[in-house]
Structure 1
Amino acid sequence: MTDPDFAERRARARERLDAIDPHKREGCVDADPHRRRWFEAVYELAGDDPAGVPWAGLAPHPVLAQWLEGRSLAGFRALDVGCGLGDNAEALARVGARVTAFDLVPRAVEWAQRRFSESAVAYRAADLFHAPPEWRGAFDLVHELYTLQALPESLLADAARALASFVAPGGMLLVITRARDAAQDVAGPPWPLTRAQIDALAVDGLWLASLEDIPATETVTRHWRAEFRREGGQ
């Protein structure tokens, strides 16, 4: 990041956003159970400053970028879940995938489209829990990064079924999320996932094919990188 003030602006934005997040206050979850209003507020308050979007790195996430190194997704139909400002969707497209990318917040989608105005990625506003029916079983690769850890535990089972529904026969669900041990207390959101929560994503015909426990570095916290597969295909 070349902007020397970026980190300071992000820290100030994070404080403002935490202050209006009902999931940060005892007994207030019912005020915004799916966190839709909070996500909308993130982009509204950010204006045109990406520092105001806590997950906007303005580059592909390093854990995804590492997975993509030397890999071709030519011909793959890919779905990027919770695309934000579009960097991960564009990374998938650069290695050959035909990418559909969606976000809950229309303002995020519009921002991504402005940033990548010449892109072949199909950006759409959509809700993970009420996705277009034509997406069912339509994707060879479903990429999910940081949506699950932003959801309360009560929504994870429904989210797992929604993600699984997108995966075509022979396809894959790739999940990248912050990781924690089962006994580790967290004051989320975000809520890093436990191994048991990762295992529980293997639903509706998906099975866990690969799980990497990626240790923290100076710039990235500990992460899970999990590949789930569905039998079938040619």
Structure 2
Amino acid sequence: MSSESVEPDPEVETRRLANESLRQDDPTGWFERLYSAASDGAAVVPWDRGAAHPLLTSWIESAAPAGEGRRALVVGAGTGWDAELVADQGFSTTAFDISPTAIETARHNHPDSKVEYEVADLLNPPADWQRAFDLVVEIYTVQALPIALQPEATKRVSEFVAAGGTLVVIAAARDDNTPDNAIEGPPWPLTRAAIEAFTTPDLHLIDLDRSPSPNDPTLYRWRAEYLRD
């Protein structure tokens, strides 16, 4: 009989922590619990790639955004890799996460960073962030919230974008005909209707790409770009 220990499945552990928080009516509390456990070596953050998201990298390579003299906001900073890439483009970059441990880890990972890392709640953000950023990047944060909270989170993300600014959203995709109760999250992937919900009368969807995941071609991801008048 083998005595080797079996590593826990990161996705299973993530769902366990999320479900515990949901049972306690604390739908965002599991983020801190997950990052804290990961910091102690007791869990793995499934989306922590040790590098910026490839779809963000490819967007920057093709769009070549000019960051000098402009402000950027990264939603759900995690351990900081996406924010560092944005800052490398010359943007004055703020990146936030609801998890203090995530922010502490990001600062530790990038000790010479130009990014301003902050602890903040997407559902209750600082008032002076409204329409304050020329580039807003949201990757996998809205989909990590229960479906009932996603409309409010989506609205908050859209409100960060300044006049003339750009919003980039990257998320797991699901078909519009997949019922909400068929999804065992997290994550709770976004339908096309949910992607279109980031738009407002003056924030327009200008590019939408749906591509298979390189790790599992049966799973798809959105990359959406929006522009505010």
TM-score, L = length of structure 2: 0.87
Report the 3-state secondary structure (helix = DSSP H, G, I; strand = E; otherwise coil) of the residue aligned with 2:96.
strand
Closer, same or farther in 2 for the Cα pair 1:191/1:135, shift >3 Å?
same
Match among 131, 136, 150 for residue 137 of structure 1: 131
4+ residue runs over 6 A deviation: none
Contact 2:79 2:105 (8 Å CA) reproduced: yes
Amino acid of the residue matched to residue 32 of structure 1?
D
Q: Which runs of 5+ in 2 are unaligned?
A: 1-5
Tell me if 1:55 matches 2:53.
Answer: no
TM-score, L = length of structure 1: 0.85
Report the 3-state secondary structure (helix = DSSP H, G, I; strand = E; otherwise coil) of the residue aligned with 1:190.
coil
CA-to-aligned-CA distance 1:126-174 (integer Å, 9 cap, x gap) = 0111111121111001100000111112112211221121111111111
Closer, same or farther in 2 for the Cα pair 1:166/1:57, shift >3 Å?
same
Contact 2:37 2:43 (8 Å CA) reproduced: no
Tell me how far 1:57 sits from its aligned partner.
0.6
Report the 3-state secondary structure (helix = DSSP H, G, I; strand = E; otherwise coil) of the residue aligned with 1:41.
helix
Aligned partners of 1:58, 1:204: CA distance in 2, in Å? 37
Aligned partners of 1:151, 1:47: CA distance in 2, in Å? 22
- State the superposition RMSD in angstroms: 2.2
Match among 97, 103, 112 for residue 103 of structure 1: 97
Which residue of the partner structure matches residue 199 of structure 2? 202
Contact 1:160 1:203 (8 Å CA) reproduced: no
Which residue of the partner structure matches residue 3 of structure 2? none
Which residue of the partner structure matches residue 67 of structure 1? 59
Q: Which one is further off, 149-158 or 212-221?
A: 212-221
Amino acid of the residue matched to residue 57 of structure 1?
R
Report the 3-state secondary structure (helix = DSSP H, G, I; strand = E; otherwise coil) of the residue aligned with 1:69.
helix
Q: 1:31-180 alignment to 2 at 5 Å?
A: 31-33=24-26, 35-49=27-41, 52-69=44-61, 71-75=64-68, 76-180=70-174
Match among 209, 214, 221 for residue 211 of structure 2: 214
Contact 2:169 2:225 (8 Å CA) reproduced: yes
Contact 1:164 1:173 (8 Å CA) reproduced: yes
Tell me how far 1:204 sits from its aligned partner.
5.9
Closer, same or farther in 2 for the Cα pair 1:188/1:110, shift >3 Å?
same
Tell me how far 1:122 sits from its aligned partner.
0.4
CA-to-aligned-CA distance 1:43-102 (integer Å, 9 cap, x gap) = 121125496112111101111111111514322311000000000000111122211000
Amino acid of the residue matched to residue 199 of structure 2?
A
